[in-house]
A and B are shown apart, each in its own frame.
Chain A
Amino acid sequence: MGILLQQIVNGIALGSIYALIALGYTMVYGIIRLINFAHGEIYMIGAFVGYFALTAFGLPFWVSLLLAMVIPALLGVLIERVAYRPLRSSPSITVLITAIGVSLLLQNLAMLWFSPDPKTFPQIFTRAPFNIGGVRITFPQVIVLATSVLLMIGLNFMVQKTKIGKAMRAVSQDKEAAKLMGIDTDRIISFTFAIGSALAGAAGVMVGIIYPRIQPLMGTMPGLKAFVAAVFGGIGSIPGAMLGGVIMGLTESLVTAYISSTWRDAIAFSLLIIILLVKPAGILGKSTREKV
C-alpha cells in the first residue's frame, strides 16, 4: 500500500511535467492542425535557459523559471513566423516535415552551443523528503506539482475567461469565421505558440529539479510521450492534455515499480493503442458532429 501511494505521488509529479508539454502540442494542434514536432526541443531549450540562469548568472529560482518561459516563448513565436507561417496554405505533410526539420536543427544547434555532454542541473531545493503517512514526498516534487497546477489553472482561466482566450477558441473552431469577427488570426496563432512554448520551457526547469541531468537530446522522448499524452487525452482538448499527461506519468511510475523499467515505454505506448482503439478521438476528445 505504501509503495502504491509512493508510486502514485511520483507518477503525478512526472505526469504534471508531461502535461505541461502536452498542452503545447494540443494548443498548437487545436489552432493550426499541426503536430509541432519541434516542441520537445523547446522544452529542452527551457531546461538549458533555466540551467544557465541559475548557474552562469546566479539568478534566483523564480526569475530563472520566468526566463525559461519567456525565452522559449519568443523562440516558439520565431519558429512559427519563419518556418510554419510561410507554409500556411501548403499541404499539412509539408509543414509536418518542416517541424521535424526544425526539431533536428534545434537539437544540433544545442549540441554545438551547449556541447553534447550532460550537465547537472543545480540542486536548489533540499532533497530531504517529507514523510506523510509513510509516503515520501520530496520538496522538488512539491515545487513541480505546485508550479504545474498554478500554470494550468492560469491557462484555464485565460482560455475560458479572457478576450484573447475566447479569440483562441474561436480561431481553433473556425478560422475563417474568426477573421470575420475582426480577429487577427496570425496574431492569435503567434500568441498560442508563445503560451505553449512557455509551458514547455517551464516543464524543462521542472524536469531539471526532479531529474537533474540535462542534455541536448533530452527533448526527444518526453516530447514523444507528451505528444502521445495529448493524443490519448484527445488532441485539441486542453483538459485532455492535462489528464493524458498525468495518466502517462502514472503508468510509467507504476509499471516501473510493479513490472520492470524496461517495459515502461512499451506499456505506456500500448496503452495509447488500446485507448485509441476504444475511443479514437481520445479520452476527452470530441468526435465532431455538426448540425446543418
Chain B
Amino acid sequence: MLKINNLHVYYGQIHALKGISLEVKSGEIVTLIGGNGAGKTTTLRTISGLLTPKEGEIVYQGKSTENLKAHELVASGLIHVPEGRHVFPQMSVQENLDLGAYTRKDAQNIAEDLEQVFELFPRLKERRSQAAGTLSGGEQQMLAMARALMGRPKLLLLDEPSMGLAPLLVREIFNIITEINKTGVTILLVEQNANMALSVAQRGYVIETGKVVLEGDSASLAANEAVRKAYLGG
C-alpha cells in the first residue's frame, strides 16, 4: 500500500530525515516509535504531502506521489490526523465532520458514514452542535479521528493520538484504532507511547535522528533489549 525509499527531508539547513525507508502493507497497523525529534512526525508530514522531500521516493498504491499536493492525496484515501488534533476550533463538531468529507460527492454514503462514526464515537453525537474548540482534549482527538474517517481513508496516518490524554482515554483511543483497522483501514501510527503502540501494531520501525535503526514485528521489538531500555521504561 505504501512504500518509502531513502527519504531525505530538510528544514532549511537541518537534515531532518536521513534516508528513511519503510513499507506498510494493506490491512496492517505499522508503528513508528522513537524519541522527541527523531523524525517521526516529519516522516508522516512528508508522506501526506505537507513537506517535500529533497531525495527519495514515496509510492502509494503503486504510484509515486511526487507530483501530488497534500489536498490531492486526500481524495485518493491517504488521510493524515496531525499531531495536536488540529480540529477547526470555531466550527461545530458537525461542521468539522462535514469538512472531513470535503472531497466526496456521494451524499448518501456520507450520511451513512456519519451514522457509523457516531456509533464509534457516541460522545461526538451528543456534542455535534458544540464548537470543537470547547471540547476536552480526548474529545478533540476523537473528533480528529472521526473527521478523518469521514474521508473514507484507505491509509490512515495517526500522529501521537494519545498525546496528553489520561490513561483510561489512551486505552479507549487504542481500542478504537484497532476497531478502525478491523474495518479494512491500513494504519501508520506514530507514538511516543511505545508500549501501547506495539500492543496494537503488527510491525514497527524504530527511528533515531532521522534514520531507521531497527525494524521488525511488534513482539520482537518489544522483546528487544535496546528498545525496552530506551522506549518501554526498562
Contact (Cβ within 8 A) A169 B91: yes
Contact (Cβ within 8 A) B91 A291: no
Chain A residue numbers with a CB within 8 Å of B184 are none
Chain A residue numbers with a CB within 8 Å of B99 are 166-167, 170, 178, 181, 183
Contact (Cβ within 8 A) A173 B89: yes
B129 beta carbon closer than 8 Å to chain A: no
Contact (Cβ within 8 A) B134 A291: yes
A182 to chain B, nearest CB (A): 3
Q: Which residue of B lies closest to A160 (CB)?
A: B95
Assembled-state Cα–Cα distance A177/B100 (Å): 10
B76 to chain A, nearest CB (A): 10
Contact (Cβ within 8 A) B70 A179: yes
Contact (Cβ within 8 A) B164 A177: no
Q: Which residue of B lies closest to A286 (CB)?
A: B90
B112 to chain A, nearest CB (A): 19
B88 beta carbon closer than 8 Å to chain A: yes
Which chain A residues (172-190) contact chain B, with CB distance < 8 Å?
173-174, 176-185
Main secondary structure of the interface of A (DSSP, over half): helix
Contact (Cβ within 8 A) A182 B95: no
* A186-226 vs B, Cβ < 8 Å mask (1 yes, 0 no): 00000000000000000000000000000000000000000
Which chain B residues (48-75) contact chain A, with CB distance < 8 Å?
48-50, 69-72, 74-75
Chain B residue numbers with a CB within 8 Å of A179 are 49-50, 69-71
Contact (Cβ within 8 A) B98 A166: yes
Contact (Cβ within 8 A) B71 A291: no
Contact (Cβ within 8 A) A180 B82: yes
Contact (Cβ within 8 A) B137 A291: yes
Q: Which residue of A lies closest to B95 (CB)?
A: A166
Point out the residue from B82, B87, B103, B137 that lies within 8 Å of A182, measured CB to CB.
B103
Residue among B70, B79, B103 facing the most chain A CB atoms (10 A cut-off): B70
B11 beta carbon closer than 8 Å to chain A: no
Contact (Cβ within 8 A) B90 A176: no
B204 beta carbon closer than 8 Å to chain A: no
Contact (Cβ within 8 A) A180 B135: no
Assembled-state Cα–Cα distance A170/B69 (Å): 18
Residue among B91, B98, B102 facing the most chain A CB atoms (10 A cut-off): B102
Assembled-state Cα–Cα distance A286/B89 (Å): 12
Chain B residue numbers with a CB within 8 Å of A181 are 71, 74, 99-100, 102-103, 147, 151
B140 beta carbon closer than 8 Å to chain A: yes
A290 beta carbon closer than 8 Å to chain B: yes
Contact (Cβ within 8 A) B88 A177: yes
Contact (Cβ within 8 A) B136 A291: yes
Point out the residue from B74, B88, B164 that lies within 8 Å of A173, measured CB to CB.
B88
Assembled-state Cα–Cα distance A179/B86 (Å): 11
Assembled-state Cα–Cα distance A177/B88 (Å): 8
Assembled-state Cα–Cα distance A177/B81 (Å): 9
B133 beta carbon closer than 8 Å to chain A: yes
B80 beta carbon closer than 8 Å to chain A: yes
Residue among A176, A180, A181 facing the most chain B CB atoms (10 A cut-off): A180
Chain A residue numbers with a CB within 8 Å of B71 are 179, 181-185
Contact (Cβ within 8 A) B151 A174: no
Chain B residue numbers with a CB within 8 Å of A183 are 71, 99, 102
Chain A residue numbers with a CB within 8 Å of B88 are 169-170, 173-174, 177
Chain B residue numbers with a CB within 8 Å of A184 are 69, 71
Q: Which residue of A lies closest to B103 (CB)?
A: A182
* B130-168 vs A, Cβ < 8 Å mask (1 yes, 0 no): 000111110010000001000100000000000010000
A292 beta carbon closer than 8 Å to chain B: yes
Which chain A residues (72-106) contact chain B, with CB distance < 8 Å?
none
Which chain A residues (261-292) contact chain B, with CB distance < 8 Å?
286, 289-292
B126 to chain A, nearest CB (A): 18
Chain B residue numbers with a CB within 8 Å of A178 are 99
Assembled-state Cα–Cα distance A174/B99 (Å): 12
A33 to chain B, nearest CB (A): 16
A64 to chain B, nearest CB (A): 37
11 contacts between A and B (CB under 8 A): A163-B102, A166-B95, A167-B99, A169-B90, A174-B86, A177-B88, A180-B82, A180-B86, A182-B75, A182-B103, A291-B135
Q: Which 6 pairs between the two chains have the least Cβ-Cβ distance?
A: A182-B74, A182-B103, A177-B86, A179-B70, A173-B88, A181-B102
